[in-house]
Amino acid sequence: MINRTITDNDGVKRYLITLNVNGDARTVLVKGNAILANVLRDELNLTGTKKGCELGDCGSCTVLLEGKPVDSCMVLALEADGREIITIEGVAVNSKLDAIQESMINHAAIQCGYCTPGMVLSAKALLTRNPHPTEPEVREAISGNLCRCTGYVHIVEAVLAASEGRLAPGEHEYPREEGDSI
Ligand code: FES
Ligand code: FES
């Protein structure tokens, strides 16, 4: 819900909106053409959301909007007004990494790390709606997230391992606690 509009001396209209980011209501003043990725990074200092192509091709800017992965470079901040957004900063809970994050570390699924925030969020959306995906389903879920470094094999293994509650092959299982989310 747009709280109010303000027109500058230069005639530019700005909108006071509220983004529900990682569980917090954040009110920001944005231009009508402000892009969500830029507002998250520049106004809210949530720089874990990366920008690559800014064309909706690479997925590095992926965030969850109402639980669904979206390219935040292709979403107007106004469109996200009043809606729930999860960025990579909101994935770990009380400093405890999500199982997908742990698994990606344990499977060496990160090299430069630029794709990782978007990759984690796409994987998280998948495991939330489908806790036990097949390998093709994992590959499909992350197909919008390009990685220049890893070749995807370790990433796919990491997501599958997280879905199965295990660490790297041969290692012990996650000490899952009741209520843990993946
Ligand atoms: S920066 Fe958004 S899809 Fe590439
Ligand atoms: S780890 Fe470098 S782009 Fe994926």
Domain boundaries, the chain: 4-90, 99-164
Using a cut of 0.85, tell me whether the model's pTM lies above it: yes
pLDDT tens profile 118-140: 999 999 999 999 999 999 999 99
Question: Which ligand approaches the C-alpha of residue 120 most closely?
Answer: 2
Q: Which helix (H) or strand (E) holds 135?
A: helix 135-141
Taking residues 106-115, what's their average pLDDT?
Answer: 96
> CA 51, CA 38: separation in Å to the nearest integer?
9
- CA-149 nearest atom, ligand 2: 2
Tell me, rounded to whole angstroms, the distance of Cα 160 from its chain centroid. Answer: 18
Which tokens belong to 154?
Answer: 């370790």
Pick the CATH number of 4-90 from 3.60.110.10, 3.10.20.30, 1.10.10.10, 3.90.1300.10: 3.10.20.30
Pocket test for ligand 1, best of 61, 70, 119 (most atoms within 8 A of CB): 61
Report how far ligand 2's centroid is from the alpha carbon of 17 (Å).
Answer: 33
For residue 172, pLDDT over 90 is answered with no
Residue 52 Cβ contacting ligand 2 at under 6 Å: no
Q: Whose CA is nearest to atom 4 of ligand 2?
A: 147
Residue 56 Cβ contacting ligand 1 at under 6 Å: yes
Angle of the 153-164 helix axis to the 99-106 helix axis, nearest 10: 130
Query: At the fourth CATH level, which superfamily is domain 99-164?
Result: [2Fe-2S]-binding domain (1.10.150.120)
Taking residues 95-106, what's their average pLDDT?
Answer: 94
Phi then psi for residue 74, to 5 deg, are -110, 10
Residue 57 Cβ contacting ligand 1 at under 6 Å: yes
Query: 70 near 63, Cβ under 8 Å?
Result: yes
Question: Which ligand approaches the C-alpha of residue 50 most closely?
Answer: 1
Query: How confident is the prediction for the chain on average, in pLDDT?
Result: 91
Query: 67 near 84, Cβ under 8 Å?
Result: yes
> CA 135, CA 127: separation in Å to the nearest integer?
12
- CA-109 nearest atom, ligand 2: 1
Angle made by CA atoms 4, 22, 96, in degrees to the nearest 5: 165
Taking residues 81-85, what's their average pLDDT?
Answer: 98
